[in-house]
Structure 1
């Protein structure tokens, strides 16, 4: 674990989130964090570079290796404000 990931984990525990389930974000190309390590690699250390909380969804998730995460959606999706007016113009795009 990186020092920052350990610090964040301590914070999450202090907030009462220590019993939440933990998911792991890693490459789909290997059982390890490294997409080049194919098959059943051994002799490597599995690095946890970050940990994040999705408290509303009820879980924590660790990041291993280079992972790009998607942003969460707002509670009211912007698509609900979009429409097509009588002239066929799209409204509500911004």
Structure 2
């Protein structure tokens, strides 16, 4: 059984379809995305240029860095386009009672 705590971060309605939002949570800069009604969470900093991904362009399940156009799959953090070559950290997401919860530890 996984005992890692869940952190309540926002209302699900605060994350809009086909959009990204940046949040400061427990000292971390996190990006939340909603695609096809599902919410995903990653670190908000591009692993190549340290730009904030919430300022990038979300197309399908890929977020494009606003600085050098590297892309990442928001489902698993995989770098999908150069110059990004290092994957992003992703966080498990749970929706409960209209609230978004993340597992930040682990």
**How high is the TM-score relative to the length of structure 2?**
0.22
Greater helix share, 1 or 2?
1
Name the TM-score, length of structure 1 as normaliser. 0.24
Structure with larger Rg: 1
